[in-house]
Amino acid sequence: MAVSCALLLSACGGSGEEQSTGSEDKKVLNVGTEATFAPFEFMDKGEVSGFDVDLLQAAAAEAGYEVNIQNTGWDAMLAGLQSEQLDIGMSGVTITDERKETYDFSVPYFESVSMIAFKEGTDIKTAEDLKGKKIGVQNGTTGQIAAEAIVGKNDSSISKYKTSALTFQALQSGDVEAVVTDIAVAYEFAKNNPDAGIQTVGDDQFVPEYYGIVFPKGSELKAEFDEALNTLYENGTYAEIYKKWFDEEPNIDSLKA
Ligand code: ARG
């Protein structure tokens, strides 16, 4: 039977000085996400799961917080950060100059790049081949920006969907011929849907981008989570989480560049 720490401090490994680290004292931070973006965030048995979840939980523990991660959706996450109803956005969000005008970002925690996913048989070898094709992107993402950079901003061949999952549904149903999304997400979808015949191709026109934890502008949490992330980079925890989800060693130096 579990012994309550509150009743029996000596049973909980302490002189008593440590008692303020007990979970009952920790502030719970409200986190928004768009959880159709495996392997970063996706719903698993009713819970948000993924690389981002493990990393955020580790960083929060390091900084002395608990997190309540809700699948708010992308737009509501961004709105919730602006209105400060949310403390954190954790959703594979790329750090961009434009977004930095509205939000604060942590130090980078993942390097990504855009990738094109399409069904085998579609004639796509480079990004230029997107021209004249029906393209699906998640609305308001860097995938949209990457697609627009190739075919033009007002090109009606780009369909914009509310979630990442809807872009892949459109690809499978044939509503679009290509999806422009983040590399690890394209790979994960291809891997999880072996019968869908999904191919992927990158292009030098797509430039590296970096994910950061998002905070309302001016949030004090930024400094605390930067410190926590740096600790996780140093003490091996980040590498452990990375290996769990990506089956390889991370290149932490690339995040510091
Ligand atoms: N990294 C891209 C961006 O920031 C896509 C993020 C989409 N995330 C998601 N959970 N659907 O625009």
Predicted ipTM of the assembly: 0.98
Q: Is the CB of 212 under 6 A from ligand 1?
A: no
23 has a pLDDT exceeding 80: no
Query: Distance (Å, rounded) from C-alpha 125 to C-alpha 33?
Result: 33
Task: Provide, rounded to the nearest whole percent, the portion of the chain with pLDDT above 70.
Answer: 90
Q: Is the CB of 51 under 6 A from ligand 1?
A: no
Q: Are 51 and 14 in contact (CB under 8 A)?
A: no
pLDDT band at 155 (very low <50, low <70, confident <90, very high): confident
15 has a pLDDT exceeding 80: no
pLDDT band at 22 (very low <50, low <70, confident <90, very high): low
Q: Is the CB of 94 under 6 A from ligand 1?
A: yes
247 has a pLDDT exceeding 60: yes
pLDDT band at 21 (very low <50, low <70, confident <90, very high): low
Q: Are 198 and 182 in contact (CB under 8 A)?
A: no
Query: Distance (Å, rounded) from C-alpha 81 to C-alpha 214?
Result: 8
Query: Distance (Å, rounded) from C-alpha 144 to C-alpha 17?
Result: 52
Q: Is the CB of 52 under 6 A from ligand 1?
A: no
pLDDT digits (tens, 9 = 90+) for 214-232: 999 999 999 999 999 999 9
Predicted pLDDT of residue 256: 82
Q: Which atom of ligand 1 is nearest to the CA of 145?
A: 12
89 has a pLDDT exceeding 90: yes
**Beta-carbon contacts of residue 244 (< 8 Å; ≥ 6 apart):** 51, 54
User: For residue 149, what are its two tokens?
Assistant: 């950079």
Average pLDDT on 88-98 reads: 98
Strands (E), the chain: 27-32, 36-37, 41-44, 47-49, 65-70, 88-89, 103-105, 110-112, 114-119, 135-138, 158-161, 178-182, 198-201, 209-211, 214-216
CA–centroid distance, 141 to ligand 1, in Å, is 5
Work out the mean pLDDT of the chain and round it to a whole number: 92
3 has a pLDDT exceeding 70: no
6 has a pLDDT exceeding 50: no
In testing the pocket of ligand 1, which one of 69, 138, 160 has its CB within 8 Å of the most ligand atoms? 138
